[in-house]
A and B are shown apart, each in its own frame.
Chain A
Amino acid sequence: MTSPPAEAATRSLDAGDIEFGDGLEILLSTVFQSAEPGQTIDVATSSRATALELPGWARSTGHSAEQDWKETNQDGQRFIVRVRRGDVTPVLAPDLPARGDPMPLRLGTQFHTSDLISAAPERIPDSADPSYGLVPLGSIPEAGGPDYAWRLNRHDDLWAEDLTDLTERATSSQWDATSDIPWSEALDLPEEVEQAVAQVMTFIASNEYVALYVPAKFLPRVNAAFVDILMWLASHINDEARHVEVFTKRALIGGQRGYALASTQMSLHSLLEEDDFSSASLLLNVLGEGTFIDLLGFVSRNAPDAATAACARLAHRDEQRHVHFGISHVRRTQKLDPDSTSQLIGAVEARAAKLATLTGLSPVLLESLTILASGSARTAELRRGAAAVNELTKLMEVNRIRRLRAAGFDLETSHYLSELHTPNLM
């Protein structure tokens, strides 16, 4: 300890008896960050041990202790260490900007995702640097992070109108496959009906797998700057995981098991191979899930028990969002780039070529759908069930063409694409 220097410090800080580990380092950090490099600060402490630790703290944080001395007054001893502020920047980034406006709330309490996207201090870019980091919207990235290598870097290639509203709806209409289905209603079906339901549910569950894997395949390729796309795909994945869960549960609840048919696997495998996001959206969202909406509607209307009906009804609600996205995205893609139309048609043709050996919906499945809709295997009811299945097939085709038209294809092309669509439904 030496005597006080003749020259006064730029400023001083009386730290009292607070010690390192008790918050002194936070106090010091705040004071030193607000000082300019080169300025001196006299730090006073009533603790000799703390005074002995101050030079080490200064060095470890990029400052330097220059001198120390002791003062005695009526309150006792004070130890003072003069520290010169270094020029180290703790975070390699520009200074944080001044505090901006708060984000808007609806009804005084709700912070909507679309408002976050539109009111955030930074816009989501049209195209993003492939090396962009995991930088949350509106935050300031520090230099020196690792380089990422995202593959999907153009927002238009992934976006659709209503995207954030669809995500919002997905969040607000979550349901629980454990407790939101009246499971006990499914326990008393006659054996032939339960077998048919188990087969249809197994078929649907198989298809939900591909609806899960396709968005999940694209999500890790999406540039982290596109948080709206990420949230949408995550909601899609979450929906499909629950569908796999609920239809697997329904398939097995009655003790019966169904076949995972090879023709179904073949069709789904070809969908998983599509590597272009918009083409996959046409194949999965517009054609596959679109057709599935009609199937789920059919099951919910004709199910022999309330549990099966509830499974189909809740999944139907989710699939409508996915189909809405697909139609909106494919329409926008064609509008922005008229050349994309031929690429989209080519994707449907290529898939159809791979599925040339599939001639129709599996007889096993057709049979099960008929019994499901009949509620029994008796002649009178079977006739009614068969008629319902025939109606479904027609409805699927009409609606498929309607959706293709909504997605921006002309009438002739819509008929052509509908014809090419897999007989497996998804």
Chain B
Amino acid sequence: MSADTLLIGAVAYHERVVPIWEVFREYFNAQGIAVDYVLYSNYERQVEALLSGRIDIGWNTNTAYVRARHESGRPVRILGMRDVDSDWATLVVTRKGQGVEKVSDLSGKRLALGSRDSGHAAILPLYYLAKEGLNPSAGELIRFDTDMGKHGDTGDSELKVLRAVADGKADAGAVGAPIWASLKNKADPLIQGLEVQWRSEDYYHCNFTCLDSPEQGPLSRWSEALLAMDYNDPGLRNAMDLEGVKKWLPGDENGYATLAQAMADQGYLG
């Protein structure tokens, strides 16, 4: 490993992470940017590695980014995000025909949430619903804390949320808009009796995070190469589909203000 190889951290939330990064590594290397990747089993370990300089770039969830920014003690920089990260949203769904017109109609109902460390399926839903005047008590919340450390990436807790609503064990559930779109696209029977009642404002989701340092040249070149990835390149399409991206965008810190506030309010930032 040469000293000028950029080391990228990613969390192994699924087997597909390996083929994705094998293709991406080849792509960057072909651009003349030496890159390698290292996989972590959870975002906490990855943030720790980023802050201690063991990796140069972390492919972070929004929650991991906010934590890294909070804990770094110095500025962090965003090198890019997926198109899908630029207008992520949380949906609240119910069974069809529940007569829910607005969020406050869910008052006193049982609300299912995804993993406790998921920004989109647990932290932000509580924050937004509170802004809409809905503050479910602990007894009204049904939490599915699965795959902890992966911040909801596996989608497992969201599927459990939807199952709970479909089975009548919860009256409403919070999930990310992408998983709902994906289940809709394949006409998944799980959601056929469900409908969307509410959609949050858009917020940012994952990003590539690096520490701000005087030597930003290689990182800037890496970012430019990332943004130049072409979904119409046959060699990249499959890996980009697996990563759920059609276009990489620059990203900025403005899309994380709400989550940072929500994490602070809910005691996630110590």
Q: A49 and B197: CB pair below 8 A?
A: yes
**Interchain CA distance A143-B233 in the complex, whole Å:** 9
Residue in B91, B178, B184, B232 whose beta carbon sits within 8 Å of that of A20 in the complex: B184
The interface residues of chain A lying within 8 Å CB-to-CB of B247 are: 62, 86
Q: A55 and B232: CB pair below 8 A?
A: no
Interface membership of B198, Cβ < 8 A: yes
Interface membership of B25, Cβ < 8 A: no
What is the chain A residue whose CB lies nearest that of B238? A144
Q: A144 and B177: CB pair below 8 A?
A: no
Cβ < 8 Å to B, chain A residues 54-68: 55-57, 59-60, 62, 64-65
**Interchain CA distance A89-B180 in the complex, whole Å:** 23
Q: A21 and B184: CB pair below 8 A?
A: yes
**Interchain CA distance A41-B187 in the complex, whole Å:** 24
The interface residues of chain B lying within 8 Å CB-to-CB of A86 are: 246-247
Stretch at the interface among B69-77, B82-90, B112-120: B82-90
What is the chain A residue whose CB lies nearest that of B232? A89
The interface residues of chain A lying within 8 Å CB-to-CB of B180 are: 53, 56
What is the chain B residue whose CB lies nearest that of A53? B196
Cβ < 8 Å to B, chain A residues 15-63: 20-21, 25, 49, 52-53, 55-57, 59-60, 62
Interface membership of B27, Cβ < 8 A: no
A88/B181 contact (C-beta < 8 A), A55-B87, A144-B234 known: no
Cβ < 8 Å to B, chain A residues 79-104: 86, 88-89, 92
Q: A59 and B83: CB pair below 8 A?
A: yes
What is the chain A residue whose CB lies nearest that of B84? A59
Proximity bits, B72-109, A CB within 8 Å = 1, else 0: 00000000000110010101000000000000000000
The interface residues of chain A lying within 8 Å CB-to-CB of B91 are: 52, 56
Q: A65 and B87: CB pair below 8 A?
A: yes
The interface residues of chain A lying within 8 Å CB-to-CB of B232 are: 88-89, 92
**On chain A, which size bracket covers the interface?**
20 to 34
Cβ < 8 Å to B, chain A residues 240-260: none
Q: With contacts defined as CB atoms under 8 Å apart, how many contacts are there between chain A and chain B in the complex?
A: 65
* Cβ distance A92 to chain B, nearest Cβ, rounded Å: 5
Of residues B185, B198, B202, which shows the largest number of chain A Cβ atoms within 10 Å of its Cβ?
B185
A59/B234 contact (C-beta < 8 A), A20-B184, A52-B198 known: no
**On chain B, which size bracket covers the interface?**
20 to 34
Q: B199 and A59: CB pair below 8 A?
A: no
**Interchain CA distance A402-B192 in the complex, whole Å:** 72
Residue in B87, B196, B237, B246 whose beta carbon sits within 8 Å of that of A49 in the complex: B196
The interface residues of chain A lying within 8 Å CB-to-CB of B185 are: 25, 57, 60
Q: A21 and B197: CB pair below 8 A?
A: no
A62/B89 contact (C-beta < 8 A), A20-B184, A52-B198 known: no
Q: B178 and A60: CB pair below 8 A?
A: yes
Q: B181 and A57: CB pair below 8 A?
A: yes
**Interchain CA distance A60-B89 in the complex, whole Å:** 13
* Cβ distance A302 to chain B, nearest Cβ, rounded Å: 63
What is the chain B residue whose CB lies nearest that of A92? B234
* Cβ distance B134 to chain A, nearest Cβ, rounded Å: 17
**Interchain CA distance A21-B186 in the complex, whole Å:** 8
Of residues B84, B184, B197, B198, which shows the largest number of chain A Cβ atoms within 10 Å of its Cβ?
B184
Q: A57 and B237: CB pair below 8 A?
A: no
* Cβ distance B234 to chain A, nearest Cβ, rounded Å: 3
Q: B87 and A53: CB pair below 8 A?
A: no
A92/B197 contact (C-beta < 8 A), A53-B180, A60-B181 known: no
* Cβ distance A333 to chain B, nearest Cβ, rounded Å: 38
The interface residues of chain B lying within 8 Å CB-to-CB of A55 are: 87, 89, 177, 199, 202
**Interchain CA distance A55-B199 in the complex, whole Å:** 10
Interface membership of B254, Cβ < 8 A: no
Proximity bits, B152-183, A CB within 8 Å = 1, else 0: 00000000000000000000000001101110
Interface membership of B53, Cβ < 8 A: no
Q: B181 and A144: CB pair below 8 A?
A: no
**Interchain CA distance A53-B202 in the complex, whole Å:** 13
Interface membership of B235, Cβ < 8 A: yes
Interface membership of B231, Cβ < 8 A: yes
Q: A21 and B192: CB pair below 8 A?
A: yes
What is the chain A residue whose CB lies nearest that of B197? A49
A60/B182 contact (C-beta < 8 A), A52-B196, A55-B89 known: yes
A-B contact pairs, 20 of them (CB 8 A): A21-B192, A25-B185, A49-B195, A52-B197, A52-B199, A53-B180, A55-B202, A57-B181, A57-B185, A59-B177, A59-B178, A59-B181, A60-B185, A64-B87, A65-B87, A88-B232, A89-B232, A92-B232, A92-B234, A144-B234
**A interface residues (Cβ-Cβ under 8 A, vs B):** 20-21, 25, 49, 52-53, 55-57, 59-60, 62, 64-65, 86, 88-89, 92, 142-144
Query: Known contacts A55-B87, A92-B234, A144-B235; can you find 5 more A-B pairs with CB under 8 A?
Result: A25-B184, A49-B196, A53-B196, A56-B184, A92-B232
